[in-house]
Amino acid sequence: MHTPATTAPLDMSPDAVEARIRDAAIAEAATIDVGFVNSFRQIQARVQANAAAKGFWFEGQTRNKAEMIALMHSELSEALEAIRHGNPADKHCPEFDNLSIELADTVIRIMDFAQGFNLPVAEAIVAKTLFNATRPLMHGGKAF
């Protein structure tokens, strides 16, 4: 498989350079999308099965979506606290820094939510990544 080069001749316009980078990103993404979606779905199912086994889901139960989103947010707040405290090793998984673990906890909660409510989050990640490749530099007029 050939992936287009992302380097550009010096005489290319900025728009042409941006188009070349975008096209290369799209071509590369297309080769990994299926594997990503399948792997994400498998892990997502495992995450949700574990949550059910630990008593967080019951047969026929509908969880409170707003509460679950608030818990996702709480994991991000814990990630911020990890930074504020110098990002020490995690207490439960000391081979990882605390920031990485809190971000992992956020993704785990998102996966649990997606599986529990049958949301195509893996596919949405791929679609959004492809869309973002088409956006101009610093789109939206925001500073960050």
For residue 63, is it within any domain?
Answer: yes
Nearest of 135, 125, 132, 133 to residue 34 by alpha carbon: 125
Residue 66 falls inside a structural domain = yes
Which range is least confidently modeled, 17-26, 39-48, 49-58?
Answer: 17-26
| C-alpha atoms less than 13 angstroms from C-alpha of 48 in its C-beta half-sphere | 20
Q: Which domain holds residue 56?
A: 14-133
In a domain, 59, yes or no: yes
Residue 4 in any domain: the answer is no
pLDDT over 50 at 1, yes or no: no
Number of domains in the chain: 1
Residue 8 included in any domain: no
Q: Which amino acid is at 120?
A: P
Integer angstrom CA distances of residue 13 from 9, 26, 44, 92: 9, 20, 43, 51
Let me know if residue 77 belongs to a domain.
yes
* Average pLDDT over every residue of 59-86: 95
pLDDT score recorded for residue 30: 66
pLDDT in tens, 95-129: 999 999 999 999 999 999 999 999 999 999 988 98
